[in-house]
Each structure stands twice: as structure tokens, then as C-alpha cells.
Chain A
Amino acid sequence: MNELLLIVRIAGERVALPAAAVESVVELDAVIPVPRAADHVAGLSALRSRVLTVIDCNRALELAPRETGTIQEAAVVEWDGHHYALLVDGVDDVVEALSEASPVRAAMGTGWERVSRGIVQTEEGALLLVDVAALIAGPDAARAAA
């Protein structure tokens, strides 16, 4: 059985998240900002009486912030005991991975470089597999570790 992948659009690119990590896909209504938090933390939202920490994927990739006012579609993941909502442009499909992830040799942007787990082959073509934990940690954590 091959790994299932969720295809999402982040900053206009189609990338894959490990489907096993994603609990659900939701539309967020209200996001409460968290003052003084890192840039990529868009705020907090509530889902079925759980608090979600909302991660702006564009910011986590050090790209231009998302346009506001659009529908806030998000993939909900659990990482290290906390629930996060990863804000994406859209969710497309679930596909099967046809290969193991292989390293990307082309030069990507630093943000993408950091969250990349490699390229996987799918029926829909080759997709970049994104590391959820790195996305959540954001650019500051990576810098602090460097």
C-alpha cells in the first residue's frame, strides 16, 4: 500500500502533504490574531471546541502574505500534541504516491528548501512532498537552529 498524499495549493504551487497527518480539511471562519507571535502564526481558531493554531503557509515559506478576504481553507494536522490549521490556497485531491521521495536537486527558494522532503511521483505528475513539522516551525525556528 503506497502512501496517500493530499494535494494542496500553496502560493500557487501544487504540493503534497502526507494524508495520514491530515485530520480534516476545513474552512475557517474567524481567526483571532496572536499579538507578538512569530509572523507565520496567523492566529487561533476554534474547531469543535478545540483550539487550532493557524499557520499561514505563505509566511512559513517566507513568501508574500496571502491576500485576505479569500475563503480560508485549511488542512488540520496534529503535531506534538497540538492541533494546527495550515492555511492553503486550496485543496485539490488525494492521490497515491507512486515512488519514494527523492531529493530535489534543482535550486528552490529557501523557504521551500526548508520544508521539502523531496519529490514524489504520482498519477498527477511529480509533486513536492512538504514536511508538516518544518512548516509549523516556521522560518524563525530554522534560523535559531542554524
Chain B
Amino acid sequence: MDDLIADFVAECREMLESLGGEIVAWEAQPEDRARLDSIFRFVHTVKGNCGFFDFPRLEALSHAAEDALADVRAGRRRADAQLVSAVLAVIDRIGEMVDVIASGEKLPDGSDDDLVSALQPAADVAPAPVANTAVVGEVAARTAAPRTIRLSVELLDRVMSGVSDMVLARNELARRLRDSSVDVAVDGAFERLSGIIAEMRDAITRTRMQRIENLFVGLPRMVRDLSSELGKQVLVDIDGGDVELDREMIEMIRDPLTHIVRNAVDHGIEKPADRLKAGKREIGLLTVSARQSGNQILIDIVDDGRGIDARRLVDKAIAAGIIAPGDAAGLSAKEKLNLIFEAGLSTAQEVTSISGRGVGMDVVRSNVERIGGIVEIDSKPGQGTRMTLRVPLTLTIIPALTVSIGHQHFAIPRSAIEEIVRANGDSVTLGRVGGAGVATIRGRRVPEIALADVLGLPSTLTDEERTLIVLKPAGGDVYALAVDKVHDHEELVVKPAAPAIMATGLYAGTTLADDGAPILLFDAAGLARVGGVRLENQERANRGADKVQEEGASRTPVLLFRDLAGARRAVRLGVVDRIEEVPAAAIQPGAGLLRVQLGDVILPVAGLDTPPAAGSKVRLFRLNDGCSEVALAFREVIDLAAVLHEVIPADVPGMVEGVTLIEGEPAELIDAHWLFGQLGGARTLAGCERAPVCRLPGNDAWMQNMLRPIVEAAGYRVIGDGSEEQADLVIAAEGSSVEGRGERTLWLSASPDAANENSIYRYDRAALMQALKGGVQ
């Protein structure tokens, strides 16, 4: 409610301001119809809003003025000097009342009869004294309410840079004062000055910033009006109004945003009947949200309407000569959607009064690009459209964390930070896999890079002494950044850096610290890129073993190591979780196997036959098949390599799968499969529910009714033949055709006689079970 009142007050003030000149002109020329109209509109608006807000006094006053003016407009009355004065007195009083409302106080009780009667044609009361015997008398004095003036942004910038200089001068003075011994009184005075300057800087900085709410506040009303005009029902959901944006920037995106929202309501969201037909709720949902992401502000406008018909866009584009018919086929889905930004294209079938006049998205795009932003579009036919405005953060204040490497400070945008953990904390283990850092934080494995390495700066700290900052860049996956020291949270005014600095891809901008020294602000995604972290693939790589093996043995990355007996061996990198070093005492025989205690878990150990000599230390690979873990003892890691040559299989199954040439020398390849088979299952990890998948023909009643329960009992998840999913096993009746997907196929024959080495008699339960079991492994 307060917001609405504030809007009302702002609107009234704005109108009063612009009315100022009109009133004077109208006084000089009471016949002027245009002037009369604008004054009439003002009192009319005030009257309308008053009813809504319950300001009866204001309403009565404006109503009386409206009546009088309506008479003049209708020609029933002449605007004589007396009426003009009376109206002016009313307007003045409205202004006073608005000030009272703005100050948050209740309108004082009182009577406006004097003014109202002055409006009457018969009245010969001189209105002049009335204007002064105000309602508000002494209230007016109190309500030197927030007044507004217009300032050029340039002037604000100058003031801001002046204040920044002042802060720097203060800081220098503070240093000097600390160095010299001065009177306590001087110190006190300086403290006061210092506080005032800080406050002032805060206020000045805020002058340029505005909450994006100001931009959003008008949207619900607009959507309501639009949708009722179009006979649609739309629910608006607004989020992120507290994101702050440069005032100028807000003005620049007002029109594009309005246009996109109108488009979404007009073309995107269907009529209630059509929505019901499409199986959606009658009420369309329009979500407008803003968030800060690195050095950009993202504004999403998402509707759940009919989406954009890419095919029709292409047809239109061809018809309009924007693209050649031959090129259309080669366009990707995204490129097709982006045609909407071409001038002269609109998919609306008919031109409506709301939008679809042919000037549209191309104007939106050029407006957004003019301020260095971009517009992205994503749409699924039948499901809706998402438009994203990305605008730069230039001159916005961003909360940041300052960190340091050596003596140099840097800032990281706080929006990208997930958490901060100490590298030597209990919940964190650091490991290296083939030279790449991996941090395990409370069981979650994330890539780890050291800031000092990325920047090539010298640092005396080891990884364990550092602090890990877990970062989640926009559109990417989490990774951990090891920094030497974390300092402070600060609000920084970020400015764009010179092109030569941006070219590094590491930085989002520069800023000045409180002591006046420049600080570089990192771009979290850029750091990951330069640090060599693959952002998108991260999640999948986490799942471990099976993925790597699928890629074929020809280029499997392996970790080359020497085992305790000195043999040159290799283990597939995908199964290595991390490397641990444990004291010999941690390895004890237990339940028939050697087992190692690592923190609070106990894992079976392979690679050594007897408990190691007391007092020594043993290094272990921690292997992970995605479901369970085992440890493999080794002496030293040689290198990270790839298996390029053929693997000569071992004669008997065992820990060694075979021998191959790695970097010109033979090495034994560890059979992780065998290891897990022998030792595994000791500890099941959370999140391991991947069941093997079996594809059964959906139209075969026997398979569905008789076979399916058996297959499911064997631990498979059953999918139909329509599914695109990769199956571990396909079961098909002999003689039927199966699409070649490179999957293992089990053929079933209908009679025992037809069974051969390729197919199984379908009631041969033992053979079936065996085949199924083979698939599970």
C-alpha cells in the first residue's frame, strides 16, 4: 500500500509540476481549451485515485473542482476570473494535501467548504483570502517534504568522483595521523569527519542507483489492462526487484522490457479456451525476474504460452527476402528463432492494437545492444518462450569478496560465490589426479585450481594452507578456487577495464579499494576457462567409471604408476577418485581382507599382501566405480598417459587385465572390474541408483507379461523400443528385426530345437538368468 501511495504522490507532484505553467497561462486566457483540458485531467485523476485510497477530503475537493470544470467544458459556464482563482486555490490545496500524505501523516480534519463554495457560480466570496487560511497551516511548515529536482547525470558523476577523491584524501590523512602522535582531540575531530565522509559517499553513490523494482512496478497493471482487453487471463510473477541497476540503465531498458512483455501477453499467451484445449491451466503465467550474474544483470521474461513458431518465422523471412530459401534448411533452431530480431518480421497473424505492427523485436534488440547488452531468445512450441535481457553492470555497485595472492589484492563477485572453506578443514580433502587438482568437499568432488597458478604469481603457501572459495559461475558448474588469503566483503563500484586487460578473459572490471589502490575484479567463468576447468562436462565426469570406458580403449586416459613391488602399472583415470596417504597402522586385516581406515570409512585394500611395516606410510589410490570404493596401494605415480596401443589380455582373470605399451614401455593395466568384483561392495555411495537398462519390445505380449517380471527381478530397468535411451541389453524374439544401436542383444527362440549359441530357448530359465546376470556386470 505504501508503494502505491508513493506512486500516487509522485504522479500528483509530476502533474502539478507540469501544470504549473498551464495554470498561469489559463489564468491569462480562460478560453484556452487545451489548458482547461489538462487541468481537468489533473483533478479528474486525483479524484479517481482518492476513491481508491480513501482520502475523502481530497476526493470531495477534487470532485467539486471537476464538476465546475466539467460545466465549463460543456459550455454551461464561462471561465471567469473568479472561477479561475477558485480552481487555482483548489489545486494549491491539493498540492498541500499531497505533501501531507507524502510525509506519512494523516490528513488533518478540516473543512474545504470555503473552497468548494468559491467554485459555485453564485458565490461572491472573494477566494483570495481562502487560499491562505489553509487547511494545513502549520502542517505545511513541517512538510518540507522530499522535493525533487532534475540533475544531469554528468553533474552527479562529477560529485561522485569528488567524493571519491575526498575518501582517498581522508585515508591518506588517516595514515599520516597514525604515524604522528597527535592530540586526542584532533583524533576525535578526524573520526567525526571520517564518519561524515563515509555517509556522504554512501548517499552520493546511491543517487545513481535504483532498484529495478522501479521498472517492474508498472508491469502488473499493464499486463492486467492488456489481458482484459485481449480476453486473456495472465498471472504476473515478479522476482528480483531488489537488484540494483544504474538509473540511466533502467531508463534504457524500460521500453525494450515493456515491448517484450506486451508481446508475451499478446502473442505468447493463448486465450483461456485454447489453453484448456492444449491441456494447460486457463491462467497464463508470465514471470519477470532479475538477477545479477557476474558483471551482468539478467532479466528473464518467461511465458508459458504457445511459443514461437520457428517454421513460420522462416517462411516469413523468406517471403521478406531476409534469407534465401536455400539457406533456410541449414539454419539451426536457435538461428531460426533469432530471425525474429530481423527488421520487418512479425509472426502475428493479424496486426493488433497491442503489438505486431512490424516494428518490434528489431527495435528491442538495437536498443538493448546500444547499451552494450544482448537479447537472447529460447522457445519451445506449445510450452512457452523465454527472453533474456543481459545488460552490463557498468557503474553498478557489486558486493565482492577481496582476496589476495602474495601482496596483491583481487575481488571476486559475491554473486558467484557458493561457499568458503578452509583447505585443511575436516570436511575437505585435496587431491591431485593426473596433475589436475580435485577437492572433495563434504563428499562432493569439484575441480580445484589455485589462483596463484592461474595468474602465474609466486606464492609461498602450499595448497593445504590456502582457503578454498567454491564458485559457481553463471551458466557453468561449480569449481573451487584456492586463494592465499580472504580479506573482506566490500561493495565496489566497478568500472570497465581497458581492452588490453579484458583480453585476458580473466577480469570483469576494475575498481578502487578504500586506500585508493586499483583492484581487479575477476570474472568467475573466465577464471575457470583460463584455469582449464571444463565447466559443462563436470557433472558427467563426476559419475566416474562407466563413462570413460564407453569412449573406447583406443584413447583411454590412464594414470601410470609403480606398485609396491616396483612393477610399472596403469589404472584407468576414470576410476581414480583421489590419492590418499595413510600411516601403516591404518591398514589392518579384517574379515578376510586387508582393510584401510580413511577418516570414518573402511575400504578393502588391493596391491599389497601383508600389512605394511609399522611406522611406514602407504599411498593409496581411492578407486570409485560410482557405487562403491576400494583402495589400491602404490609406491609412486609416474605420469598421466593414454592407452593408444592394443591391450594384450592376460591369460587368467586377475588384478591385471593385460599388458600394453604406454609411452614406449610395457605396462600392466589394472583390471578395475576384477578388483571391484573381488573387493567391492564394501561401501555403497549415496546417489548410486543407476540400474542397468533393458529394452523389451513393447508390442510383444509374452515379453511384457512373462519375461518382464524376471528381467526386473534381475535388477534391470525396462524401457520400450520407442525410447532413445541407450540400453545395456536388448531382448528380442529371434527372427524379429532390431535397430542396430550397438547394444548387446539377447535373442530368444520359441522352440528348444532352434536354440543355438546365439539364441536361448525362451523357457530355459537357467540360461536366461545367466544372460541377464552377464548384463548386470
Contact = CB atoms under 8 A, between A and B. Distances in A.
Given A32-B408, A50-B161, A44 B510 contact: yes
B504 A30 contact: no
A46 B519 CA distance: 10
A36 B498 contact: no
B495 A51 contact: yes
B21 interface: no
A88 to B, nearest CB: 18
Given A32-B518, A34-B504, A44-B510, A49 B455 contact: no
B456 A37 contact: no
A2 to B, nearest CB: 31
Q: Interface residue tally of chain B, by bracket?
A: 20 to 34
B517 A49 contact: no
B201 to A, nearest CB: 11
B457 interface: yes
B388 interface: no
Interface string A22-65: 00000000101111111011001110111101000000000000
B500 A136 contact: yes
A38 B168 contact: no
Nearest to A55: B500
Contacts of B516: 46, 49
B495 A36 contact: no
B164 A49 contact: yes
B432 to A, nearest CB: 23
A84 B499 CA distance: 11
Nearest to B509: A51
B453 to A, nearest CB: 11
B168 A45 contact: no
Contacts of B497: 51, 53, 82
Interface string A126-146: 000000000011100000000
Most buried by B among A30, A35, A46, A48: A35
B165 A49 contact: yes
A124 interface: no
A35 B517 contact: no
- Main secondary structure, interface of A, reads mixed
Q: Interface residue tally of chain A, by bracket?
A: 20 to 34
A36 B161 contact: no
Contact of B503 (A33, A38, A46): A38
Contacts of A46: 168, 512, 516-518
A80 interface: yes
B430 to A, nearest CB: 23
Interface string B528-570: 0010000000000000000000000000000000000000000
B503 to A, nearest CB: 7
Nearest to B506: A36
A45 B520 CA distance: 11
A32 B517 contact: yes
A136 B510 CA distance: 18
B501 interface: yes
Most buried by A among B165, B516, B518, B530: B518
A132 B117 CA distance: 75
A53 B500 contact: yes
Contacts of A51: 495, 497, 510-512, 518
Most buried by A among B408, B457, B498: B498
Given A37-B504, A41-B500, A49 B161 contact: yes
Nearest to B520: A34
A84 B498 contact: yes
- Main secondary structure, interface of B, reads mixed
B402 to A, nearest CB: 13
B517 A53 contact: no
Interface in B485-522: 495-501, 503-504, 506-507, 510-512, 516-520
A34 B501 contact: yes
A114 to B, nearest CB: 15
A30 B408 CA distance: 12
B233 to A, nearest CB: 48
A69 to B, nearest CB: 17
A38 B517 contact: no
B142 to A, nearest CB: 39
Contacts of B167: 49
A36 B504 contact: yes
Interface in A56-95: 80, 82, 84
Nearest to A84: B498
Contacts of B499: 80, 82
B719 to A, nearest CB: 49
Contacts of A84: 498
A46 B503 CA distance: 21
B493 to A, nearest CB: 10
Contacts of B510: 44, 51
Contact of A37 (B164, B495, B500): B500
B518 A36 contact: no
A38 B500 contact: yes
A136 B498 CA distance: 10
B513 to A, nearest CB: 9
Interface in B151-169: 161, 164-165, 167-168
26 contacts: A34-B504, A34-B520, A35-B455, A35-B504, A36-B455, A36-B504, A36-B530, A37-B501, A37-B503, A38-B500, A38-B503, A41-B498, A41-B500, A41-B501, A44-B510, A45-B518, A46-B517, A48-B161, A48-B165, A49-B164, A49-B512, A51-B495, A51-B510, A51-B518, A53-B498, A84-B498
Interface of B: 161, 164-165, 167-168, 408, 454-457, 495-501, 503-504, 506-507, 510-512, 516-520, 530
List 10 A-B pairs, minimum CB-CB distance, nearest first.
A35-B455, A49-B164, A44-B518, A53-B498, A82-B498, A36-B504, A51-B510, A51-B518, A41-B500, A49-B165
Given A33-B408, A41-B501, 7 more contacts: A34-B501, A35-B455, A35-B457, A46-B512, A53-B498, A136-B500, A137-B500
